[in-house]
Chain A
């Protein structure tokens, strides 16, 4: 046993043997790739450096391949290859000769392993190489990448490139890069000129440069001017910080509104305490998942299809719950509460048994990922932005249905005075079922939105049921506007408090506030007025 330990220790201690050489059509490349294949990440980095320094025509392509893990090598003949999917398997295509080696099993080829530091290094090298790319977008990305690592030599480099540059955006970026580089110019006058030039810029590189100058520049004038410029920038950053917080609040609020608005109908208008509301949301999310499974190639379309499908699934489930259970329990809130709680457990277990007890992956389509960069300090994520708009659309749609359709009129009539509505010939039972179906369907639609933000699992609904009730009660029972204003308001309040109170305390404070508020105004923000409300 001791010998085993010794062997293991020795294995760890022996310097990594130089990995087998790679065969390319260029000896400089051979040497570079042999280093990239080494076990030691320092040696690998040297190899990448050598690859970038070589003058091989395919070096950008190769660097990209290493970066994205697309470049492989075959163990048997040490050739670098691209893997191309062929009949569900991978065929190896030689990088240099284009020869097709046919389908290769998983164990026969290897990836060129890299780590984070190397990814950063390769991106930096690619940026320098792509400064002369023919694509303006690539040039812009390259300049921005280099802005992050400001270096005095950049001033001269960009100055040269600026003369030939035609694209306005790239020119602008290059000018900022020159200014940032000049912030570290040895001549104080140059530094002061650069400070004047960058003032008001929100680029992090500018801020870092100015902070450095304001703190320890040998020249007094430079220090004061840098501090002044910095103050102006900080003020602007702070302003955008508030804009960002409000956006976060609106986005959190829109999620609350989406989750609550179905409940605003079933609980607010009909007065049914539906504890299974969260599970109806969950069903909507699972519908999204199932549709995505059915059409894995078209993620974007699947989300759009999921909206009506989730509405139908949750709506029909809702109608079934209403017809099967709740209609026998009208006027008995406690029994309704217990019965619907039971239904919620049944629905959860159903999903666990039929699909999986584990969370299921729902992919985001491309138009819902990434962010909209307004400036260097303010960027809004697309998924949140779309969900906010979606929330407003759902709200508007629901509002119009209740206000201007026959069903809406009947719903309002039944909720205000059931016996009078019946006397006027409204079939109240049918209206109850449809109203409950509508509220449940909206919950399903909310599930589609939530599937893009959070985990889809059997417990998804539980996370939102308390929040939903909170929003409806706070907004005022029976009032859709109350739900909208209440939800968005609570979202913003939560996000305003989060920076100084922390996520946990902010949530508690919001709850305490609502309890106190309800003590003072039991009917919520927008109480229903008139005789109907008293009844």
Chain B
């Protein structure tokens, strides 16, 4: 009986508190709200939860430094549960109901495509932190991950320097690998590689029986010409793929595999001894030596309270994106999305590899491209680095129909897909 009374009293108190907090939120916008749109459940939770934590850490740090424009930053976290249509709903909820000033989020291309119309309709800003296939430039999206020319093409260039003559393009069957491989195929052919020296292979999500494909690769690579695999194989399927390579006796010296979706986080779950020497191309590795990186790793370990956690490329992309947004808000003096969108172009902030990344007019950023070899401790050893920074290219120069397009969101042009031949903006939003 006493318990019941207590419970009732408690629930009343909670209700009062809720009303109170809602009232304060409505009264004064004394905080700046930052939306975080990453899946915390479902298949993508493995990767995206880390990015949510990264954002919370960055916001906490900024608040310790005194917030922004004299106000505190307030994170609003929602869970789109790896469900693509739900991404759009949650984005609408963040913008319309929570009235956030900016959103950091999405991982897969399909989730980005799902939220794009919402951001354009409600004119809000999204920072997208993952490497993607390009062929897109929206007024409302800032792409802080790598475009194909900031990851895939430099990786292929590196392998060419190493004397690779035959190419296997292996990928999971969905939009990112298909588009990337189309670009790479065109690029290789432009470099004089014969069609017979390119093998393209697609596998379903989560493919686990790699015997015949690896045997094919082995056969393809036994003609005496140096062969390499360019892998856009996604997530889970990589482990049995690398295992099969090891079992069939293919080492990184015979046929190196360069991957675009395998980073520190993915390697932390597997035994990397058989993988030593295989490559990955990113714009950041945890093993980068710079003061910014040391500070970032230290802050991350302190925030997550686990010394074993790794950092990876998309985390760096959020770090850059968040700092760019801060600079742009300070420059514009307001958090109004269109003012910030105009102000952010040209803003340059330090990246974690010791340089400065700048936001370009096509809403992509400049980044160094690093090639690393996998080590037996799950880290990468950098074996090649572009001499300068590479500007992200929204529209690939190697694809029909896209090579004439440019993107420039500055005032006179303000177009994401301006055709330099016909001198027309196609008018489509993205």
Contact = CB atoms under 8 A, between A and B. Distances in A.
A80 B266 CA distance: 33
B388 interface: yes
Contacts of A384: 211, 247
B429 interface: no
Contacts of B277: 115-116, 119
B24 interface: no
B239 A454 contact: yes
A503 B204 contact: yes
Interface stretch (B249-257, B332-340, B390-398): B249-257
Interface in A47-105: 69
A381 B248 contact: yes
A504 B204 contact: yes
A4 interface: yes
B208 A453 contact: yes
A283 B248 CA distance: 28
Contacts of B204: 503-504, 507
Interface in A445-490: 453-455, 457, 459, 463
Contacts, number: 119
B243 interface: yes
A359 B256 contact: no
A190 interface: no
Contact of B348 (A1, A12, A369, A495): A1
Interface residues of B, number: 52
B46 A358 contact: yes
A364 B246 CA distance: 11
B249 A379 contact: yes
A119 B381 contact: no
Select the residue from B173, B222, B381 with max chain A CB neighbours within 10 A: B222
Contact of A361 (B252, B269, B376, B381): B269
B46 A502 contact: no
B327 to A, nearest CB: 11
B368 to A, nearest CB: 9
Interface in A379-404: 379, 381-384
A363 B271 contact: yes
A165 interface: no
B224 A248 contact: no
Nearest to B348: A1
Interface string B345-356: 000101000111
Interface residues of A, number: 55
A499 B249 contact: no
B253 A370 contact: no
Given A9-B388, A113-B381, A360 B269 contact: yes
Nearest to B45: A357
Given A113-B381, A204-B222, A381-B248, A123 B253 contact: yes
Contact of A370 (B208, B213, B216, B249): B249
Contact of B203 (A359, A364, A383, A503): A503
A109 interface: no
A371 B211 CA distance: 12
Interface string B15-46: 00000000000000000000000000001011
Interface of B: 43, 45-46, 162, 173, 201-204, 206-209, 211-213, 215-216, 222-224, 236, 239-240, 243-244, 246-249, 252-253, 256, 269-271, 276-277, 279, 348, 350, 354-356, 373, 375-376, 381, 383, 385, 387-388
6 closest A-B pairs by CB: A208-B224, A454-B208, A120-B253, A381-B247, A248-B211, A204-B222
